[in-house]
Amino acid sequence: MVYEYDRNIRDRVAVIGVGETEYTKHGRIGRPEFRLALEAILAACADAGLEPRMLDGFSSYSADRNDPNRLSTALDLPHYAFASMVYGGGGGGVCAAIGNAAAGIVAGYANFVVVYRALAQGEFGRFGQSRRGGRLRGQYAFNVPQGLMSPAQFLAMKMQRHMYEYGTTSAQLGQIAVAANKHAQNNPRAVMNGRPITLEDHQNSRMIADPYRLYDCCLETDGAAAMILTTAEIARDFTDTPVYLSASVQGSGHRQGNVVDGFWHDDFMSSNYTTMVDRLYSAAGMGPEDIDCGQFYENFTGQVLTSFEDHKFCEVGEGGPFCEGGRLETTAVADPGATHAGEFPINTSGGNLSEAYTHGFNLAVEAVRQLRGDSSNPVEGARTCIVAAGPASAPISTAIFRN
């Protein structure tokens, strides 16, 4: 017997506050990661108008080092009633952590759950750098001896195949990087603010892992971000502009969790959303045509492109042309005469490429800002925003927010 996914959390939970630290290049923030987590959480409480001691739940992902027991003590909470962690998947857990928090609220375990992610790459090491180890286990025993030692190298192979199959070009990937950078110029929080790039700059930047050039790769930064969720009913006591969670899905397709086996599965070029995208739209009661803007996790530009395809914003193989003509830029920053200006703006804070890399959580924060009207790059009339977590990881997740 096949059992349908016919239960959901649609619009039963709302975001009442978001918070961030400042963002800096890796190693330059000058404070411990644990303190960064606390600063972001307290900033989210201040944004919500919530007394911090009212928090009673925690949710994070990718084995965030700042555990709820320690956070609860530092925040002087009288108790906490819920804690959740998404294991594995790296940045793929952004929306899963939000979804888990919502599930805990709907189930009645907690009233105010804070979702957070903190990174101090200067304290604990750079994400994008390969590390030597005394012993190789599992898949790494197979791929490291062949020179596949970093995410850029793994994922470049997927994009090379896409270019071979569909004629996708480096310049089309560059459109994603340029759009994010344009948005960062209006965002004072962005690490790349004041450092504009052109498509020519992208094309001339040094090669990291063919076809990925420097500006195809996410930033490496220090910082933290947080978000507070509660029930839709309680949210009305705190804000006139709640942002509702319409859907959050998580999971993985067959063999997507293993780099070695993954080279052989049928969905090799995808970003691993294909098995859950129908669940996403069904849970939200929407389709891709109902989405006004998006925040797409950029570990690398090519994975954003295949994320568009996976989420059915364009056909498979058409991701390259979809990126052209200013479609990914807000109308305000698009070049005059851009043929598709502002049709589907993404990463309106600058994203992982130009704002900061908090393992993608800054993208979820920007979705909330966009829908409550205080984004530095507002999308006129935006009512819905999709957030796609770390593409090509496993598990992976996506969420849809509405105002």
**Cβ proximity of 255 and 262 under 8 Å:** yes
Q: How far apart are CA 226 and CA 72, in angstroms?
A: 15
How many residues does this entry show for the chain? 403
Query: Could you give the residue numbers annotated as active site?
Result: 297, 357
Structure tokens at 7: 């239960």
Q: Position of tokens 């993404």?
A: 346
At CB < 8 A and 24+ separation, what contacts does 142-145 make?
Answer: 142/260, 143/259, 143/260
Give alpha helix (H) positions in 17-115: 33-48, 68-74, 94-106
Beta bridge pairs of residue 227? 18, 115
Q: How far apart are CA 100 and CA 89, in angstroms?
A: 15
Q: Which of helix, strand or coil describes residue 303? A: helix
**Cβ proximity of 265 and 253 under 8 Å:** yes
**What is the biggest distance separating any 2 CA atoms in the chain, rounded to whole angstroms?**
59
Separation in Å, CA 352 to CA 22, 61, 180, 366: 14, 17, 9, 11
Cα first-last separation, the chain: 38
Q: How far apart are CA 108 and CA 341, in angstroms?
A: 44
Q: How far apart are CA 386 and CA 95, in angstroms?
A: 10
Residue among 151, 161, 219, 211 nearest 190 (CA): 219
Q: Position of tokens 């994008």?
A: 128
**Cβ proximity of 244 and 38 under 8 Å:** no
220 φψ region: left (φ > 0), alpha (ψ -120 to 50), beta (else): beta
DSSP codes, 257-290 = T-HHHHTTSTTTTS-S-TTTHHHHHHHHT--GGG
| Bridge-based pairing state of the strands 113-120 and 221-231 | antiparallel
